[in-house]
Amino acid sequence: MLAFSPAAERMFGFKAEDIIGENVSLLMPSPLAEKHDSFLQKYLLTGQKNIIGIGREVTARKKNGTLFPVELSVGVITRHGTHLFTGFLRDLTAHRISENQIAELQSELIQLARHSAMGELATTLAHELNQPLTAIANYTLVTRKLVADLGTNQQTKALLDLLDKSAQQAQRAGEIIRSIRTFVKHHETRFRWENLEDAVREAVKIATIGTGNRPIDVQINKPGPVPDICMDRIQIQQVVANLVRNAVDAVSAQDTERIIRIDITRHGTRSVIVRVLDNGPGLAVDVEKTLFEPFNTSKTDGVGVGLAISKTIITSHNGDIRGRNRQAGGAEFYFILPIDSKAEDVSS
Ligand code: ADP
């Protein structure tokens, strides 16, 4: 190395005077460090470029041995038959941390979505299945009685045995359903005092991931101060993510400008209101009346549980959630959250 900038000194923890004159492979982890000289040799012989002029993400090594991600691009200057290489590095550590945080939060949200969706499904299924199961149990009981009245012989004994087994299985199915219901009911919520704006911003970031090829103008407004809210942060983020994701779906198809606006404002003295507005086509007539009921969807790949789950969550926070068409076109969804849903009187 012929030169080592002050920024490089900070990044690697080496002083320029200690490192100038050393091989650049000192800044690389094994096994790249060992291979570096032969890569360079190969380039000088064949002109085959591995990284020069291309740039890519690589792992670098600090003086204390810590490895960290960097974006590296290498330039080459040839003068009087000598090659001089310049490496430009950007430390990607902070970038990676926030990427990891997003991925973590996303997986937490997905888990919750599954959990809530499972709860919603389990409740519906339990309700739907209870009646036919009771009917099966009753029919089996009556048939058993009729068979028993026929008198005991080899065949009736076999029939009674089979009918007993059917009754046992119907009972077992009932118990499985009951245990699922108990499991769903006991899902623990974690109410804490949280900064609503932070929670909303994070959820919006996640819900808009992957919209880059059809850019959407996403605006988040908080005109005045909003107090901390006593809430289950992950659940409220799930609601925001659901509403924003629906808005993304709504505006994505159009070729005109795609706008989503999220307003966070105080609502009276004891609540806040979060609105999600879009300039999409608005609510379809046939879904409008039953918006928050499960399995209500107008999308070919929709499940129709997002809004039902959101309603369950907001209701468990003693809040209210609604959706309607905007006069200006597009849809508007809003939810009202009491600042402290645990307080005695939360109406405001
Ligand atoms: P899904 O998104 O799986 O269909 P949801 O419960 O989240 O389930 O939404 C139910 C339905 O409500 C959607 O299929 C859609 O018809 C309607 N909807 C929700 N949000 C919007 C919106 N922003 N614009 C237009 N329609 C919407």
Q: Is 304 in the pocket of ligand 1 (CB under 6 A)?
A: yes
Mutation pick for ligand 1 pocket among 218, 240, 246 (CB with most ligand atoms within 8 Å): 246
- Check pocket membership of 291 for ligand 1, CB cut-off 6 A: yes
Query: In terms of residue numbers, what domain contains 250?
Result: 188-348
326 neighbors 332 (Cβ within 8 angstroms):
yes
Tell me: do 98 and 196 sit in the same domain: no
Ligand 1 touching residue 284 (CB < 6 A): yes
Q: Which of 186, 212, 235 is the last residue of a domain?
A: 186
* Residue 299 alpha carbon, nearest atom of ligand 1: 14
Residue at a domain's end among 75, 91, 107: 91
Per-residue CA distances from 25 to 39, 67, 232 (Å): 11, 13, 49
346: pLDDT strictly greater than 50: no
User: With a 6 A CB cut-off, is 283 part of the ligand 1 pocket?
Assistant: yes
Same domain, yes or no, for 152 and 228?
Answer: no
Atom 1 in ligand 1: residue holding the nearest Cα: 304
Instruction: Report the distance separating Cα 196 and Cα 229, nearest Å.
Output: 6
Q: Are 161 and 147 in contact (CB under 8 A)?
A: no
Residues 145 and 28 in one domain: no
How much is the pLDDT for 27?
A: 95
Ligand 1 centre to CA of 315 (Å) is: 19
Domain edge (last residue) among 60, 91, 122? 91
Residue 267 CA to residue 273 CA, distance in Å, equals 6
* 271 and 312 together in one domain: yes
Gyration radius of the chain's alpha carbons: 31
d(CA 133, CA 167): 10
Shared domain check, 226 and 339: yes
Q: Is the CB of 330 under 6 A from ligand 1?
A: no
Token pair listed for 190: 């974690």
Per-residue pLDDT at 343: 61
Ramachandran angles phi, psi of 41, nearest 5°: -60, -45
Taking the centre of ligand 1 as the mean of its atom positions, its distance from the CA of residue 206, in whole angstroms, is 18
Are 75 and 97 contained in the same domain?
no
Looking at the DSSP assignment, which residues form a beta bridge with residue 83? Answer: 78
Q: Select from 208, 245, 297 the residue to mutate for testing ligand 1; criterion: most ligand atoms less than 8 Å from CB.
A: 297
254-274 per-position pLDDT tens digit: 989 999 999 999 999 999 999
> Is residue 122 predicted with pLDDT exceeding 80?
no
247 lines ligand 1 (CB under 6 A): yes
In terms of domains, do 315 and 205 share one? Answer: yes
- Ligand 1 geometric centre to CA of 305 (Å): 9
Task: Determine whether the shortest distance from the Cβ of 294 to ligand 1 is under 6 A.
Answer: no
278 CB near ligand 1 (under 6 Å): yes
- Residue 199 in any domain: the answer is yes
The Cα–Cα gap between 317 and 334 comes to: 14
Provide the pairing of β-strand 259-267 with 271-278.
Answer: antiparallel
Q: Is residue 1 part of a domain?
A: no
The per-residue pLDDT for 347 is 43
At residue 344 the predicted structure's pLDDT band, cuts being 50, 70 and 90, is: very low
Q: Which residues contact 268 (CB under 8 A, 6 or more apart)?
A: 348
Rounded Cα distance between 275 and 322, Å, is 10
Instruction: Name the domain count of the chain.
Output: 3
221 and 295 fall within a common domain? yes
Output DSSP code: residue 340. Answer: B
Element (H, E) at 78: strand 67-79
- For residue 62, pLDDT beyond 60: yes
Q: What is the CATH number of the domain that holds 330?
A: 3.30.565.10
Q: Rounded CA gap, 229 and 340, in Å?
A: 6
Provide, rounded to the nearest whole percent, the portion of the chain with pLDDT above 90.
42
Q: Would the CB of 306 count as within 6 Å of ligand 1?
A: yes
For residues 131 and 27, state if they share a domain.
no
Can you give the pLDDT at residue 23?
94
